[in-house]
Chains A and B, each alone.
Chain A
Amino acid sequence: QQQVKQSPQSLIVQKGGISIINCAYENTAFDYFPWYQQFPGKGPALLIAIRPDVSEKKEGRFTISFNKSAKQFSLHIMDSQPGDSATYFCAASMEVTGKLIFGQGTTLQVKP
């Protein structure tokens, strides 16, 4: 019940294309869903986050879509750039705790 399942494991997208990464969770008590971006040799950094009272959140080229009934959420990267090449992690948490449960990660490669 504590798991967050992320897919795909890896993704190759052409420059200018749309990258889509999907996550699914089981625990309906989760109420905070962040996405983290990690470059090689660096720690993860928060990219964007959503709470389940909204179905979509957009920040620049990054959008989270959230489907509460399906217990799924996804990250869309519009106009993907080579600089977006990184590993992306979805996570879920109950806000009252600080504990983040991470998905397995998706390695994104954006080809020029």
Chain B
Amino acid sequence: DSGVTQTPKHLITATGQRVTLRCSPRSGDLSVYWYQQSLDQGLQFLIQYYNGEERAKGNILERFSAQQFPDLHSELNLSSLELGDSALYFCASSVERESYNEQFFGPGTRLTVL
């Protein structure tokens, strides 16, 4: 158990809908990352937050947004969902923002868009 929790575990929804994925980082970790894992794209970095501020952005679609709250938990919002958004979404956390700080991954949220 990495200490990172993600809810829900599974999410099934329809095209055009909006969903929110939630992540609670390990106690004491200030940095939160979101990754998308799919068969065709592999594991892709979406976005990083550090202590409430956006730090780095990857291949995140405009339909997707994220935020980190004062209690350091984070939410990833996915809107106008398309079939191709079906994937595993991982949250990871680390103590600090630099990459040499080990990133601990949560168990993921499996999103299925029908």
Contacts and interface: CB of A to CB of B under 8 A. Distances in A.
Contacts of B24: none
Given A43-B105, A44-B43, A98 B2 contact: no
A16 B44 CA distance: 33
Contacts of B45: 99-102
B42 A42 contact: no
B80 interface: no
Contacts of A100: 33, 45, 99, 103
Contacts of B108: 43
Interface of A: 32, 34, 41-46, 49, 51, 89, 93-105
Given A97-B55, A99-B58, A104-B42, 5 more contacts: A45-B104, A95-B98, A99-B48, A102-B45, A105-B42
